[in-house]
Amino acid sequence: MTEQRVEEGAGGTILFDAARVPQVDANWFLPQYWRERDALRSQPGGRGGVAIIDTPAGEAVLRHYRRGGMVARLLGDRYLFTGARRTRSAREFRLLAELCRRGLPVPAPLASRFVRHGLRYSADLITARIPSAATLAERLADGAFNAVLARRVGELVARFHREGAWHADLNAHNVLVNDSGLYLIDFDRGRLRTPAARWRQANLARLKRSLIKLGARDAAGDTFDAEWWPALMEQYERSLHA
């Protein structure tokens, strides 16, 4: 269970899990703060990469919310402020906390922050790092994606769908794999929805497009459509109705 607390100050409004990190201040959201302590490293992923930081609560991922596409040229990292609870950082923090409470494999939220800039705001999120994990995209690139892994992915997605958990960007970069299991990350704009076949199938179609775009058909030829994707869907259906 999370122990959610809110602190407000000149550095913004911070929401954090006091059970994991008893005290958080605005410095936690500044890469330079961790760099000066030799506690930061970056890695590819997301828009502009992510920062891995060594915190008192262990290794964590610091992510600054940035827009994508053409709108990024106009608004960059700013979003329209419509209330503290509706900021992207607070919503993702609370959604992850709820998914953790339900026992779903997601990174634990440690802290989030938003900073007002007039009618707009910028935001950040810190989550616990999933250790020794590779993305599903990386597994595909190194030749480790096969029918067995496809079934595990199908089971993973079904677990979330049973709970009504909708991932706004279900793609191969947002599925992590390590020796302990599979995880979903990056729940920005995700939410809990009333279970329905329409959004579930759209979620799966997005994942399939991602795998194809990353070269699953090129690497496997007919095997992807004849074996791998059917294996994923078979396990998905079996797990969804278990």
Helical H runs in the chain?
A: 31-35, 71-75, 88-101, 136-141, 147-162, 197-213, 216-220, 222-223, 229-240
* Cβ atoms of 108 and 128 closer than 8 Å: yes
Q: Tokens for 71, please give them.
A: 């709108």
| Annotation says 169 is catalytic | yes
Alpha-carbon torsion 193, 168, 98, 136, what sign?
positive
Half-sphere CA count of 10, side-chain side, radius 13 A:
0
Question: How far is the C-alpha of 172 from the C-alpha of 140, rounded, in Å?
Answer: 9
* Cβ atoms of 130 and 43 closer than 8 Å: no
Alpha-carbon torsion 51, 150, 109, 168, what sign?
positive
Catalytic residue, candidates 25, 54, 77, 169? 169
DSSP 13-59: EEEEETTT-S---GGGG-HHHHHTTT-EEEES-STT-EEEEEETTEE
Question: Hey, which residues are catalytic here?
Answer: 169
